[in-house]
């Protein structure tokens, strides 16, 4: 059958992800993640030796536009909706103090 996810692995991943899961959720995700791995193992059985690697599934080439110099917003217009400003800058509340260690 291959690799199967167990409850301890789901608990560990949930802890690392800082997710609080209930016991029923842990059991549900254990089964669902095991099914995903089983499906991936099935895909690994396919012979892909003749398949070229793709960066995109559609035949798209360069989709970037050429850079063009255009006028930008004035400072006053860019800061028009700012809740608070100081001169030409957004003014934001201080989030670090002398005791923060930053």
Which residue ranges form the domains of the chain, and what is each CATH number?
7-43 (1.10.20)
- Residue 20 pLDDT greater than 70, yes or no: yes
Higher-pLDDT residue of 23 and 94 is: 23
Query: What local confidence, expressed as pLDDT, does residue 100 receive?
Result: 63
Confidence of residue 76 (pLDDT cuts 50, 70, 90): very high
How far apart are alpha carbons 10 and 30 in whole angstroms?
Answer: 6
Q: What's CA 102's distance to the chain center, in Å? A: 26
- Residue 2 pLDDT greater than 70, yes or no: no
Spatial neighbors of 52 by CB under 8 A, at least 6 apart, are: none
How far apart are alpha carbons 29 and 4 in whole angstroms?
Answer: 12
Per-chain mean pLDDT for the chain:
87
Which of 7-11, 32-36, 39-43, 57-61 bottoms out in mean pLDDT, i.e. has the lowest? 57-61
Query: What local confidence, expressed as pLDDT, does residue 101 receive?
Result: 62
How far apart are alpha carbons 47 and 36 in whole angstroms?
Answer: 20
Whole-prediction pTM: 0.47
Q: Phi, psi (5° rounding) for residue 85? A: -140, 155
């Amino acid at each position: 059958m291959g690799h199967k996810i167990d409850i301890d692995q789901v608990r560990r991943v949930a802890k690392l992800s800082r997710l609080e899961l209930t016991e029923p959720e842990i059991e549900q995700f254990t089964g669902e993640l095991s099914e995903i791995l089983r499906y991936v193992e099935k895909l690994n059985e396919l012979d892909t030796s003749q398949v070229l690697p793709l960066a995109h599934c559609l035949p798209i080439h360069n989709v970037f536009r050429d850079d063009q110099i255009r006028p930008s917003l004035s400072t006053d217009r860019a800061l028009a909706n700012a809740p608070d400003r100081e001169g030409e800058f957004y003014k934001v509340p201080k989030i670090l103090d002398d005791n923060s260690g930053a």
